Structures are given as structure tokens and as C-alpha cells.
Amino acid sequence: MDIEQILNKIHPISKSASSILKEYFTQVKYSKGHILLRADKIETSIYFIKKGIVRAFANFPDNEITFWFGKEGDPVLSMKSYIENTKGYEFIELLEDCELYEIEIKKLKELFRSNLSIANWGRKLAEKELIKTEERLISRQLKTATERYNELLKNQSDLIKRVQLGYIASYLGITQVSLSRIRAKSR
């Protein structure tokens, strides 16, 4: 997915604003297993996935919890660093070799101040990320494990083929044994 498609997927942007914004992106590649963002660090860049898949997770004393996945076209950022310029709480790990578009948060915020179209695009980016977070929270609180699994199959079926089942189970808030049972019943 090219950067123009990604930008417009978030929010339609004028050709002139898109041209300005694209000047500040750098393409980067990292290998599977690379930790792109680190917890307890102020992150200075935002990424958009051109190719590959990532997961966000947090470490706790007795386990590690995966709370979102990103794939082609998705933004990858620490919202705390982006919005508050404070340390984030998540790690972002590449689950495949990835090609990404990177932009420095500082440069992006300068563009927000100088270009209303880009500022509106940035607002839509934050709004969409908020909605995704809210949907995950509501799903985790109000739906059964089977409903969450079926929702994942419906909305992101490719994750089942691309992501280790242990990470899927963690994302769904269940054990890998429970996930195996749910999958067996779903066939």
C-alpha cells in the first residue's frame, strides 16, 4: 500500500497537502522480531505500514498481553508520545519483515500548525485511533470469547493465518487452550 493510499484511507486530503506531507516521510525496513516502539520511552516518530504486520503488547509481572495488531495501511504509534510527549506503555513488535513509512512527530505537528488540511487529517487520525481503542475495550468487556473470536474472523480473518495463535489468544483475553476449543467448535 503506498503512502497516498494510506493517507486517504485515514481521511481524504488535497493533492497539494498530500504532496507537502509526503515530503516528510521516509521509507524504512525492519526484520521480523524487531521492536519498533518501546515502553517507558518517549517515541519521536509515527509509522504507517506499507507491508507487514505488527503487534502491540505490554509486559506484566506474570504475563505479556497483546492488545492490538496492525497491518498494511495501519498507523503505528504511541498515543501518549504523540499527544502528550510522554513515555508510552506499549512495545510494538514486528511479526513479519516490514516496510514502513516514518514521519517525525515534531515535523508532523509543525505541518499541523501551518496547513489546515493536514491538521484536519491529523485530527481524523487521532479520532480513528480513539474509536478503535473504544471498540476493543467494549468488545473485551461485553462480548464472550466466542463472540470476540467470530468478530476477529469476520473483520480480520487474515490475522489467523499470519499471527501466532498465542498472540491471538492474548488479544482475545483467553488462554491458548480456550482458543483451541473455540476454533474446534467453529469448524
Structural domain that includes position 84: 3-142
Q: Is residue 181 part of a domain?
A: no
Query: Looking at residue 61, what is its pLDDT?
Result: 85
Q: Is residue 183 part of a domain?
A: no
Q: Is residue 112 part of a domain?
A: yes
pTM of the predicted protein model: 0.93
List the alpha helices (DSSP H) in 15-144: 15-22, 79, 105-114, 116-142
Q: Is residue 32 part of a domain?
A: yes
pLDDT tens for 5-42 read 999 999 999 999 999 999 999 999 999 999 999 999 99
pLDDT tens for 132-182 read 999 999 998 999 999 999 999 999 999 999 999 999 999 999 999 999 999
Number of domain units in the chain: 1
Q: What is the DSSP letter of 62?
A: T
Contact 56, 92 (CB under 8 A): yes
| Cβ neighbours for 181, distance < 8 A, ≥ 6 positions apart | none
State the angle between helix axes of 165-172 and 176-186 in degrees (0 to 180), rounded to the nearest 10: 90
More confident residue, 140 or 110: 110
Q: Is residue 46 part of a domain?
A: yes
CATH number of residue 99's parent domain: 2.60.120.10
pLDDT band at 62 (very low <50, low <70, confident <90, very high): confident
- Measured between alpha carbons, how far is 178 from 166 in angstroms, rounded to an integer? 11
Q: Is residue 167 part of a domain?
A: no
